[in-house]
Structure 1
Amino acid sequence: MSEQTILDMCCGSRMFWFDKQDTRAVFSDIRAEEHTLCDGRHLVISPDLLADFRALPFADNTFPVVVFDPPHLERVGEDAWMGKKYGRLNKDTWRDDLRAGFSEAFRVLWPHGVLIFKWNETQIPVSQVLALTDVKPIIGQRTGKNDKTHWIIFVKD
């Protein structure tokens, strides 16, 4: 097994990973569950480590790379497949939750480490989310249907 140098702090079903079993990564999520989606596909959320991104169980300066792809929906039905696939934000605490997530991501990053942040602004504009951290991003790219998904790179000072 190779050294684990990447933390995916909200891995979900590892949708964007080329190798969903990449041994360089620690896949972490607050939930472990399986669902059959409305189209018959099987959704598996099986993290290596059950952990809350607001309170990560790692020492300071542990990883050179962190991936932060938190839930982005605050309005989604309890049984909706979008909620099962992407998770859901707490409508009352999402700002505090994401602020704590950014803080934890930067805490566990090495100095000059890279944070890869993904956000879909279908419900909440990315500008409101970026306001939750004092660290300024260095690179950003919009993708997806209607350019609503943002991939944003930060470097820890």
Structure 2
Amino acid sequence: MSNNIEALPSILDMCCGSRMFWFDKQDERAVFSDIRSEEHTLCDDRRLVIRPDLIADFRALPFADDSFPVVVFDPPHLERVGDNAWMGKKYGKLNKETWRDDLRDGFAEAFRVLWPHGVLIFKWNETQIPTREILALTDEKPIITQRTGKNDKTHWILFVKGKGND
């Protein structure tokens, strides 16, 4: 394990966006990371604020191996969304040509920075891409899943990193 364990918070949110599912959006136990930092006014005049603690690409995280006991991975799940659509602003957008490689790399990075026996909390909405296609992008096997949301399209999936999964 990393020598700087005490210096880092215990949770990494790799794609925090607006931190929408966090009880405490300023939770000091977490490092909130995202590739973008921006603000938008939505059509109903609400503000969408994406302000990560750290600007970073989930495909190449700036942390040492085995840095966190808990990682949250809620990547963009839409590949077909307009440039000015509020869904794209809120959730981000997948690259149509590279999304499989991007998410495969994201899983690899999540497990790389996760402690052995650490927990990965993965969230996916299968409105456009079925969850089975996403789970095929990692060799890790999930242990728990829960479907939620409209028509049960959102999947919360829990993984535990094995001891020798380098």
Question: If the TM-score is normalised by the length of the shorter chain, which range does it land in?
Answer: over 0.9
Counterparts of 2:102 and 2:44, CA distance in 1: 32
Match of 1:101 among 103, 106, 110: 106
Residue of structure 2 in register with 1:19 after alignment: 24
Shift of 1:39: 1.0
> For 1:8-157, what aligned pairs fall within 5 Å after superposition?
8-157=13-162
Cα displacement string for residues 104-128 of structure 1 (whole angstroms, at most 9, x for unaligned residues)? 0000000000000000000000000
Counterparts of 2:101 and 2:28, CA distance in 1: 32
Shift of 1:3: 5.5
Counterparts of 1:94 and 1:39, CA distance in 2: 30
Normalising by structure 2, we get a TM-score of: 0.93
Distance 1:33 1:81, change over 3 A: same
Percent identical among aligned pairs is 83
Q: Which segments of 5 or more consecutive residues in structure 1 lack a partner in the other structure?
A: none
More off after superposition, 2-11 vs 18-27 = 2-11
CA RMSD of aligned residues (A): 0.9
Q: Which segments of 5 or more consecutive residues in structure 2 lack a partner in the other structure?
A: 1-6
Normalising by structure 1, we get a TM-score of: 0.98
> Which residue identity does 1:26 align to in structure 2?
V
> Which residue identity does 2:93 align to in structure 1?
R
Counterparts of 1:95 and 1:37, CA distance in 2: 29
Counterparts of 1:34 and 1:130, CA distance in 2: 31
Secondary structure at 1:85's aligned position in 2?
helix
Shift of 1:129: 0.1
